[in-house]
């Protein structure tokens, strides 16, 4: 029987050389129009997914801001270490946050946070669990290690990337993993390409073949 999964969109903004953060952790790549696109996508999603490093490095809120939206998607964080500051922004205000982990240590958790321990935190198994909780559309925002896992497992429907006109030379890659063997290389289908309203960025939508 086919397992039910939510519709999964990966959204990220990268430099021309394919980096989503510089070696120092700088990751403010989006123009205001790109931010708006991200907010609109968040608004139409049921859950936003990020990896543990993104929470530690960026301390994001992961809420919808600056566009009219009647609800915030739930936040989903994936982590083995469960090493988070109690003061992290995602713990300070609604909506609910679910942390998926394969670590059975007990940690003190703030209100509004649920820890789900799975034997195997593959992205597909996490998505399956989210589907069972009524989540039908998921936005995976990063970072590179989390996106690598999602692509490696082919656990996505669309990849939307904005190319920001910057060159980082090094840093966190859009996909950060050991790399695919030649016979594992994935080829996607270009579905849409747009010049951003700022006239300096390109917004690309690919679908999984």
Decide if residue 176 touches ligand NAP (CB under 6 A): yes
Decide if residue 15 touches ligand NAP (CB under 6 A): no
Integer-rounded Cα Rg, in Å, for the chain is 17
We find the least distance from the C-beta atom of residue 102 to ligand NAP, in angstroms, to be 6
- Residue 46 or 141 having the CB closest to ligand NAP: 141
Judge residue 56's burial from the number of C-beta atoms within 10 Å of its C-beta, 0-12 exposed, 13-18 middle, 19 or more buried: middle
C-alpha–C-alpha distance, residues 48 and 51, integer Å:
10
Decide if residue 155 touches ligand NAP (CB under 6 A): no
- Residue 46 or 160 having the CB closest to ligand NAP: 160
Decide if residue 121 touches ligand NAP (CB under 6 A): yes
Token pair for 54: 């993104």
CB 153 within 8 A of CB 23: no
Taking CB under 6 A as the binding criterion, the range among 50-58, 88-96, 108-116, 196-204 that sits at the site for ligand NAP is: 50-58
Judged by CB under 6 A, the number of residues near ligand NAP is: 31
We find the least distance from the C-beta atom of residue 82 to ligand NAP, in angstroms, to be 7
* CA 50 vs CA 16, 77, 150, 167, 199: distances in Å: 22, 5, 11, 24, 29
């Amino acid at each position: 029987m086919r397992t039910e999964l939510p519709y999964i969109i990966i959204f990220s903004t990268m430099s021309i050389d394919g980096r989503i953060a510089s070696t120092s952790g700088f990751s403010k790549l989006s123009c205001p129009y790109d931010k708006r696109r991200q907010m609109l996508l968040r608004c139409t999603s049921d859950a936003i997914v990020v990896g543990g490093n993104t929470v530690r490095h960026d301390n994001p809120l992961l809420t919808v801001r600056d566009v009219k939206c009647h609800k915030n998607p739930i936040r989903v964080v994936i982590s083995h270490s469960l090493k988070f500051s109690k003061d992290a922004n995602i713990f300070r205000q609604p909506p609910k946050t679910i942390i998926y982990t394969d670590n059975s240590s007990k940690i003190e958790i703030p209100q509004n946070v649920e820890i789900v321990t799975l034997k195997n935190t593959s992205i597909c198994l996490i998505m399956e669990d989210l589907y069972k909780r009524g989540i039908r559309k998921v936005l995976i925002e990063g970072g590179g290690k989390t996106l690598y896992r999602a692509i490696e497992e082919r656990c996505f429907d669309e990849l939307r990337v904005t190319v920001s006109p910057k060159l980082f030379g090094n840093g966190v890659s859009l996909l950060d993993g050991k790399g695919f063997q030649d016979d594992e290389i994935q080829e996607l289908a270009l579905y849409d390409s747009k010049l951003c309203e700022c006239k300096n960025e390109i917004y690309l939508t690919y679908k999984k073949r």
